[in-house]
Amino acid sequence: MGAEKEYKQNPAKEIDYVQVTESKSFKKLMHDRKKFIVPLTIFFLVFYFLLPVLTSYTTFLNTPAIGDISWVWLFALAQFIMTWVLCTVYVKKAAVFDKQADEIIKEMEEGGEGR
């Protein structure tokens, strides 16, 4: 955010956004984000939709796990836990991506190509 704030305070500096998108550091940032987000999204969607699919087409989750508590309740609870864990992981990783983006902004303000 620091470099972005500096840029907004000094609008006289023009950044060539085509140059930014073609730079090696920007392409690395986009690759890293995709490499992180796609598997996380696939995992989330599979885990999320597994509960209604399993409850609709199988009876496995209806069996008791702990006393009168069935597996369906544990799976549903696990979905809440999974959501909080994935959210925490994403927020920490997004901070890393923000630092990379700030470095790209600084690099472009200084006139570097980063290719």
Report pLDDT for 112.
Answer: 60
Does residue 82 have a pLDDT over 60?
A: yes
Total count of residues recorded for the chain? 115
Reading the block at residue 33, the tokens are: 């984000």
Neighbours of 25 (CB within 10 A): 18
Q: Which residues pair with 64 in a beta bridge?
A: 70
Range list of H helices, 1-115 = 2-9, 17-22, 24-57, 71-109
The position carrying tokens 């992180």 is 36
Helix axes 2-9, 71-109, angle to 10 degrees: 40
- Position 12 pLDDT exceeds 80: no
Selected residue with higher pLDDT from 2 and 28: 28
Q: How far apart are CA 110 and CA 115, in angstroms?
A: 14
Tokens of 63: 């069996």
Prediction pTM value:
0.71
